[in-house]
């Protein structure tokens, strides 16, 4: 073989190894992002200065720039989430794909900027997060407004106090609508969590009733340590109802990316072939000392898993968001004795892990 052909073959081999002519490798998670975009109808694209997102192709989905929908673009430039939800509905848009490569400064509070920083919203939930972009979808039916929040708070306080659970059919339709949810009931005193319990159910109503009853049972089991019967303590306790929402599966396991996309209101979470585990946001901050990656390692240790499970592709990593749905403020009938460190520690040791 002539020397020139040897050289040509050598250059071809080197080029193939280096990926010459093939363009830059796609950002981690891009293939799965495209799959998540399928069958969504119309998805609005926010950002995308270089047009890379517009070039993504997903079956039965049309990507449109926010600039082509003036009312929606105006809502994204504002700060009113309800106005954004209305604009999405009016434009028949089923999702938002936001460029995450050049996030806006922290003092830009527009909804578009917040989405670009991968911050949580009330009306939109994160579906999939990658270094290239994040897909957000509406939280249909899971945003609770007055007077439904008052009904939730009233029922939760009554059940913790020992009332008989009502029939599911007595709840308003949005609260008994069938969907898999997880509800948490937390008892707080002067801003400090005393006890919480969560439950999954086929509706907000069912999960709420289970979590409330179990919270009462847990207090009763530890009555001496908790400072007395729950009925005596309840007038001085806030009863808070949270919905534990997923806020985006992580499409990259890069530590810098993970730390970037977890805000102060997020908890680390993962599941592996069914079972799920999480730390609540407060525990994520405290045990992770400001790092979501460190919090994940703590959670893996709690779950008897190797610390390097972050790299295990069979472990799905996601953000957990505890959204407050309702709050029944303490009536304050009588003053309780100050909470001692030992008393608080009993429940706070458990707070934030599941």
**Higher-scoring residue by pLDDT: 28, 286:** 286
Q: What is the mean pLDDT of residues 195-208?
A: 96
Contact yes or no for 323/181 (Cβ under 8 A)? no
Backbone angles phi, psi at 14, to 5 degrees: -65, -40
Residue 258 lies inside a defined structural domain of this protein: yes
203 & 222 share domain: yes
Residue 19 lies inside a defined structural domain of this protein: no
Domain stops at, among 105, 138, 171: 138
User: What DSSP string runs through 38-97?
Assistant: TT-EEEEEE--TTSTGGG---TTEEEEEGGG-HHHHHHHHSS-HHHHHHHHHHTT--EEE
State residue 24's pLDDT score. 58
Contact yes or no for 138/94 (Cβ under 8 A)? yes
41 & 177 share domain: no
State residue 56's pLDDT score. 95
185 & 273 share domain: yes
Domain stops at, among 138, 162, 194: 138
State residue 347's pLDDT score. 38
Question: What confidence category does residue 14 fall into, taking pLDDT thresholds of 50, 70 and 90?
Answer: very low
Please state, in angstroms and as integers, the Cα–Cα distance from residue 122 to each residue in 14, 56, 152, 327, 341, following that order.
Answer: 51, 27, 18, 16, 35
216 & 346 share domain: yes
Q: What is the mean pLDDT of residues 200-223?
A: 96
Cα(310)–Cα(317) distance, integer angstroms = 8
134 & 148 share domain: no
Residue 277 lies inside a defined structural domain of this protein: yes
What does the pLDDT look like over 24-45, one tens digit per residue?
567 788 999 999 999 999 999 9
128 & 254 share domain: no
181 & 251 share domain: yes
Cα(318)–Cα(251) distance, integer angstroms = 9
87 & 211 share domain: no
63 & 170 share domain: no
Question: What confidence category does residue 351 fall into, taking pLDDT thresholds of 50, 70 and 90?
Answer: very low
Report the length, in residues, of the chain.
Answer: 354
Residue 20 lies inside a defined structural domain of this protein: no
Q: Containing domain of residue 87, as a range?
A: 30-138
Average pLDDT over the chain, rounded to an integer: 88
Question: What confidence category does residue 343 fall into, taking pLDDT thresholds of 50, 70 and 90?
Answer: very low
93 & 75 share domain: yes
Residue 274 lies inside a defined structural domain of this protein: yes
Residue 4 lies inside a defined structural domain of this protein: no
- Structural domains of the chain, count: 2
Q: What is the mean pLDDT of residues 151-165?
A: 96
Residue 285 lies inside a defined structural domain of this protein: yes
189 & 133 share domain: no
What does the pLDDT look like over 50-72, one tens digit per residue?
999 999 999 999 999 999 999 99
308 & 277 share domain: yes
pLDDT of residue 152 exceeding 60:
yes
Residue 105 lies inside a defined structural domain of this protein: yes
Question: What confidence category does residue 350 fall into, taking pLDDT thresholds of 50, 70 and 90?
Answer: very low
What does the pLDDT look like over 112-129, one tens digit per residue?
999 999 999 999 999 999
Domain stops at, among 103, 138, 173: 138
What does the pLDDT look like over 265-280, one tens digit per residue?
999 999 988 788 999 9
What is the three-class DSSP state of 296?
Answer: helix
Maximum CA pair distance of the chain?
Answer: 97
């Amino acid at each position: 073989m002539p020397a020139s052909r040897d050289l040509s073959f050598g250059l071809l081999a080197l080029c193939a190894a280096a990926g010459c002519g093939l363009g830059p490798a796609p950002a981690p998670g891009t293939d799965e992002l495209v799959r998540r975009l399928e069958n969504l109808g119309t998805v609005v694209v926010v950002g995308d200065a270089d047009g890379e997102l517009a070039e993504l192709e997903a079956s039965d989905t049309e990507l449109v720039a926010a600039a082509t929908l003036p009312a929606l673009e105006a809502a994204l430039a504002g700060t009113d989430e309800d106005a954004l939800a209305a604009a999405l509905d009016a434009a028949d848009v089923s999702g938002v794909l936001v460029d995450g490569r050049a996030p806006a400064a922290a003092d830009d509070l527009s909804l578009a900027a917040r989405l670009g920083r991968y911050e949580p919203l009330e009306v939109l939930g994160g579906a999939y997060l990658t270094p290239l972009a994040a897909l957000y979808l509406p939280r249909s039916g899971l945003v609770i407004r007055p007077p439904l929040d008052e009904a939730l708070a009233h029922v939760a306080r009554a059940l913790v106090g020992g009332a008989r659970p009502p029939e599911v059919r007595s709840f308003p339709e949005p609260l008994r609508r069938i969907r898999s949810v997880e509800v948490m009931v937390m008892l707080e005193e002067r801003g400090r969590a005393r006890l919480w319990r969560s439950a999954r159910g086929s509706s907000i109503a069912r999960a709420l009733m289970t979590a409330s009853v179990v919270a009462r049972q847990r207090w009763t089991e530890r009555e001496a340590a908790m400072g007395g019967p729950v009925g005596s303590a309840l007038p001085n306790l806030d009863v808070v109802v949270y919905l534990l929402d997923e806020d985006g599966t992580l499409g990259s396991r890069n530590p810098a990316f993970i730390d970037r996309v977890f805000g102060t209101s997020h908890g680390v979470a993962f599941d592996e072939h069914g079972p799920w585990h999480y730390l609540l946001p407060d525990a994520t901050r405290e045990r992770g000392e400001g790092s979501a990656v460190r919090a994940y390692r703590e959670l893996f240790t709690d779950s008897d898993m190797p610390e390097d499970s972050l790299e295990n592709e069979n472990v799905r990593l996601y953000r957990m968001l505890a959204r407050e749905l309702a709050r029944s403020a303490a009536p304050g009938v009588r003053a309780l004795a100050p909470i001692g460190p030992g008393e608080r520690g009993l429940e706070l040791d458990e707070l934030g892990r599941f």
